[in-house]
């Protein structure tokens, strides 16, 4: 059974738009305070923050903290803001991500005209945003949770073994790209493989002593600005046949991973059911759990022998277009190799 999120606080990076905005909005609806950590707010996000600027207007508050997730000092500042405004954070979502943008793409190497990755920096912005930022934010979240736990331990008698009830959650956004890896986005694919592996690695933290639950969602093709505002990506979608997954559908699943419920219902193929039929089954919500979110379907991503993403909301019909363009570029010898 789910527990109430009322009175809790979440930090959500990338809450200025897309999936993270939908998640932040859902948390606020459940009376959970939210720190919107992003470079800027889209108009729809600013409207949400403004509407939740004071408890006199809403049962939960939202505050905006301008955050460049590539700057570790700014990641630390998110937690300072949560502590100052709300007494600390209970839920952390390092959700911001980019989908192989030209400014930091494998196919536009550092030093090439489209790239903004200076060769002298010895790093890719895409990897910093999609992988390094979730890892560093998780380190900070664990330290934050443990520090709050120690601070509150004085409320418990030294003569009793009673432990504070834990409700600390870190929820990541992986992708079906962690399994299905299009040629278009090598850096994005690599980072999402990394996120999924990282989440599974931290599964043991979900124990009575530490009580930190690290989970993830793996969305399919989501109708967000990441696609809509990028003509180069949007041209790969056939709107007449391909189906979008909404940001709200993903947010609902994310909510089910942080609200304390013991189980969630997921789609199951014949391989996952004792009776050999397709349908649904219930799986335990625990550290390391990764849930794929496609159109009207949620599926547990198994660590071994997983069947992979399939069905509506998991494919784009015109991916072969960009594959052919990449092959022609390489064959012509005109690849912008940079410096």
pLDDT of residue 158: 45
Question: Cβ distance 79 to 67 under 8 Å?
Answer: no
Provide the total of helices (H) and of strands (E) in the chain, helices listed first: 10, 12
CB neighbours of 170 closer than 8 A, spacing ≥ 6?
91, 92, 93, 94, 138, 141, 142, 202, 212, 213, 214, 215
DSSP 213-229: EEEEEEE-SEESHHHHT
Q: Digits of tens for pLDDT over the chain (339 positions)? A: 566 899 999 999 999 999 999 999 999 999 999 999 999 999 999 999 999 998 777 899 999 999 999 999 999 999 999 999 999 999 999 999 999 999 999 999 999 999 999 999 999 999 999 999 999 999 999 999 999 888 766 554 444 444 544 579 999 999 999 998 899 999 999 999 999 999 999 999 999 999 999 999 999 988 888 888 888 888 888 888 888 999 999 999 999 999 999 999 998 765 555 555 678 899 999 999 999 999 989 999 999 999 889 888 888 888 889 899 999 989 988 777 654
How many CA atoms lie within 13 Å of 333's alpha carbon, on the beta-carbon side?
0
Question: Cβ distance 241 to 271 under 8 Å?
Answer: no
- Alpha carbon of residue 322 to chain centroid: 26
Cα gap 300→217, rounded to integer Å:
9
pTM of the model: 0.92
């Amino acid at each position: 059974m789910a527990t109430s999120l009322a009175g809790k606080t979440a930090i959500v990076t990338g809450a200025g738009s897309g999936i993270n905005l939908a998640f932040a909005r859902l948390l606020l609806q459940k009376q959970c305070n939210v720190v919107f950590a992003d470079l800027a707010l889209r108009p729809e996000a600013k409207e949400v923050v403004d509407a939740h600027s004071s408890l006199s207007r809403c049962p939960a508050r939202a505050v905006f903290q301008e955050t460049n997730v590539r700057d570790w000092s700014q990641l630390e500042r998110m937690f300072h803001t949560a502590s100052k405004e709300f007494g600390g954070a209970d839920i952390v979502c390092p959700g911001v991500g980019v989908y192989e943008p030209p400014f930091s793409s494998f196919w536009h190497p550092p030093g090439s005209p489209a790239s903004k990755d200076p060769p002298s920096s010895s790093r890719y912005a895409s990897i910093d945003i999609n992988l390094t930022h979730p890892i560093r934010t998780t380190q900070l979240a664990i330290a934050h949770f443990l520090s709050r736990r120690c601070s509150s331990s004085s409320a418990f008698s030294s003569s009793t073994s009673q432990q504070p009830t834990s409700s600390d959650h870190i929820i990541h956004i992986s992708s079906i790209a962690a399994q299905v890896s299009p040629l278009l986005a090598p850096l994005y694919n690599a980072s999402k493989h990394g996120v999924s592996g990282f989440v599974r690695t931290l599964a043991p933290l979900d124990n009575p002593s530490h009580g930190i639950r690290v989970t993830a969602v793996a969305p399919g093709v989501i109708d967000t600005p990441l696609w809509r505002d990028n003509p180069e990506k949007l041209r790969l979608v056939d709107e007449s046949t391909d189906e979008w997954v909404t940001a709200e559908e993903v947010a609902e699943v994310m909510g089910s991973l942080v609200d304390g419920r013991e189980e969630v219902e997921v789609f199951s193929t014949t391989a996952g059911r004792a009776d050999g039929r397709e349908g649904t089954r219930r799986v335990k919500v625990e550290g390391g759990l990764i849930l794929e979110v496609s159109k009207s379907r949620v599926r547990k991503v198994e660590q071994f022998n997983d069947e992979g993403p399939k069905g509506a909301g998991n494919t784009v019909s015109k991916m072969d277009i960009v594959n052919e363009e990449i092959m022609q570029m390489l064959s012509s010898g005109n690849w912008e190799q940079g410096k």
